Amino acid sequence: MFFTDQLPGRTVYINNEEWLYFSGTSYLGMAQNIDFQKILHESIQRYGTNFGGSRLSNLRFKIFEEAEDYLAQWTGAEAALTVSSGTLAGQLVVKALHNNKNRYFAPGVHPALFGEGDYSELSYNNWTDFIIKEVNKFKKPVALFSNTLDPLRAKQFDFSWLDYLPNDIPITLILDDSHGIGVMGKNGAGIFSTIQTPDNVELIVVASLGKALAIPGGVILGNKNFIENIWQSPFFGGASPIVPAYLDAFLQAKELYQQAWQILLNRIKTFTKGTKDLHLFQKIPDYPVFYTPKNELVNYLQGYKVLISSFPYPTAQDARITRVVLNAAHTEQDVMELIDLIKYF
């Protein structure tokens, strides 16, 4: 375990020494992007450091609706609603669906979507087989909760199995795309921009905006009626919103996000090409996380002042999960240096 007093980006300072850093969730490198910080500084001067009031107040900031309209347009959703965290976004959705008695939670689903229902310890593929049989057998309305991908072991989930569900009952699919939005999909717009669902499947996506997008808050994407229902929730009305200055900066930084996304894709391409013959990593195409079962890689790289992600999950008693995580702040030289070191591992 290491401690630091500075936010890591492409590097991190440990004991006053600079190490290369290939970990974290700031995939687009925006948390340390100087240009983004300048924009945010100007936005804070306009909106202040925080707004702790309710969105239902009789005095409202237009920036919330402007950002939500953009998020809906960018992702392809009918409507969007921002809240103060990804976990709150998930729990608002779970509470909104409390009347649905048939709720099934995929293995590994993020705690943001935890609620009463059926949990599975099966593999993801075995779980989807179970859901297909279960829903076809009972033919009752269901709500299905899942992550869009596994960022720990770099596995992308295929949702084509939805076509094997009955088409004559209402089905609600709730997906957590916290590690996909900003990185995956069309122009980095996440799963809502690409997923195809049958007509009887209502899609709801929740996500933290604090990872790739570096915005401390969350979003709910769905149809207008569902978003309106969330508006009526006392848990929404009683909660403080995202700091409006961050949403203002988010809208002003559209080009910066796209530039960072393109840089990230180039870094991923370089690392993928440079390590493909090593058969060391499990990966998702065009995704910045590379999982390896070789935990000993961690100590080897630490000997060269390179820190990668490695920790037990989901509890301290579980096995370590080791990954290389790229971000857009990394230079091409950073990635090549890492490749050269790994080749001699």
d(CA 322, CA 281): 10
Bridge partners (DSSP) listed for residue 325: 289
What is the pTM for the complete model shown? 0.95
d(CA 322, CA 307): 11
User: 288: which 2 tokens?
Assistant: 């910045």
Give the three-state DSSP class for 249: helix
Q: Which domains does the chain have, with CATH numbers?
A: 11-34+255-343 (3.90.1150.10), 51-242 (3.40.640.10)
d(CA 242, CA 247): 8
Q: What pLDDT, on a 0 to 100 scale, did the predictor assign at position 7?
A: 85
Under 8 Å between Cβ of 211 and 9: no
Bridge partners (DSSP) listed for residue 150: 155
Q: What pLDDT, on a 0 to 100 scale, did the predictor assign at position 5?
A: 79
d(CA 188, CA 174): 19
Backbone φ, ψ for residue 86 (5° rounding)? -65, -35
d(CA 309, CA 323): 5
Q: Write the CB contacts of 137 (distance below 8 Å, at least 6 apart in sequence).
A: none
Q: What pLDDT, on a 0 to 100 scale, did the predictor assign at position 235?
A: 92
Count CB-CB contacts under 10 A for residue 81: 26
- The identity of residue 185, as a single letter, is G
Q: What pLDDT, on a 0 to 100 scale, did the predictor assign at position 276?
A: 94
Rounded average pLDDT per 10-residue block, the chain, 345 residues:
83 93 97 97 96 89 97 98 97 91 93 92 94 93 96 95 95 98 97 95 98 98 96 93 97 98 98 96 97 97 97 85 98 98 94
